[in-house]
Chain A
Amino acid sequence: MLTRWNDFGLINFHYSRSSFDALRQEIDRLFSGFERESGNDPSFDPDRGALGNRTWPRIHVRDTGKELKVHAEVPGLSEKDLDITVEQTSLTLRGERATEAPEGYSVHRTERRALKFARSFTLPSRIDTKRATATLKNGVLELVLPKVAEAQPRQIQIKAS
């Protein structure tokens, strides 16, 4: 049996519960969205869509000392679909993904939604924007943002008095 998929997870209790209960459950689900970020949520329900109410794209930021490394999961996007703006202390990613519903096919399930996104970050240290680089591989964008010299960690020698 094919049931209609929707994004709000309300389908299963439409008939068995009052709409108030449904609303409450939906609000609980919104607030539990943070746990979902970890990706290991045992209560994951595929009928809610794997994207759920999660922020897209998923981003990892790391500080390696000399530089900040940013990884963004952007499957299906090519160079031309991404717009990256970097300032000394901020980073903005913009992009758009179109649905690739092939022609002549009927649709059974769509979890990979078409979307337009913009995410901005305040960076934890000042970076040298001229040396910033971006590469895209297997649907993952990697940004290497070198820190300015003053922001890099420095070893301090102790002088004997």
Chain B
Amino acid sequence: MSVHTELAHPSNLTEKQNSFTVPAPVDIYENKDEILMIADFPGVATEDLNIRLDGAELHILGSPSATYEDAPPLTFSRTFRVPNTVDPSSVTAELSHGVLRVHLTKAEAAKPRRITVHSSTE
């Protein structure tokens, strides 16, 4: 199974006017239960982070709040196409030390399943 990733056109994502949009560096991991995305959002507080699942697209935007008072405002952003094996209602995220972790839990039906073979008796 592959995770398709792409960078959407930044102008579609920028929320703060006249801000610089910087792509956030991202790591993507996967195990049998979930896809885990880890991204750098330095200086961004929980309330300034905007995570949106729009159909199959996951948009993440964040602006550092008061960090760079006189510098042009920054927006970190990234967009990913999420495979349809992910259960949209189960997406969770946590932010710590400027690092965001997004857990995309796979739908039950998409998880690998061991099939027991029964011996047939004649």
Residue in chain B with minimal CB distance to A49: B25
A71-B43, A77-B97 given; name 13 further pairs at CB < 8 Å: A2-B3, A40-B21, A71-B67, A74-B42, A104-B31, A105-B29, A106-B29, A109-B26, A110-B27, A112-B38, A136-B97, A138-B45, A139-B97
Binds A, one of B53-61, B68-76, B106-114: B68-76
B23-60 interface (Cβ within 8 A of A): 23-31, 35-36, 38-45
CB distance from A24 to the nearest CB of B (A): 25
Interface residues of A in 58-75 (CB under 8 A from B): 60, 62, 71, 73-75
Shortest A152–chain B CB gap in Å is 19
| Tier of interface size on chain B | 35 or more
A111, CB-defined interface residue at 8 Å: yes
B residues less than 8 Å from A155 (CB atoms):
none
Contact status A76-B97, CB under 8 Å? yes
Specify which of B24, B68, B99 is in contact with A50 (CB 8 Å cutoff): B24
Does A123 reach chain B (CB closer than 8 Å)? no
Interface size class of A (residues with CB under 8 A): 35 or more
Task: Contact check, A101 vs B23: say whether CB atoms are below 8 A apart.
Answer: no
- Is the Cβ of A75 less than 8 Å from the Cβ of B45? no
Nearest CB of A to B52, in Å: 19
Could you say which residues of chain B place their CB within 8 Å of the CB of A46?
A: 5-7, 23
Shortest Cβ distance from residue B48 to the other chain A in the assembled complex, whole angstroms: 9
Highest count of chain A CB atoms <10 Å: which of B20, B39, B41, B42: B42
CA distance A78 to B2 in the complex (A): 33
Q: Which residues of B contact A109 (CB under 8 A)?
A: 3, 5, 26-28
Instruction: Report how far A43 CA is from B64 CA in the complex, Å.
Output: 23
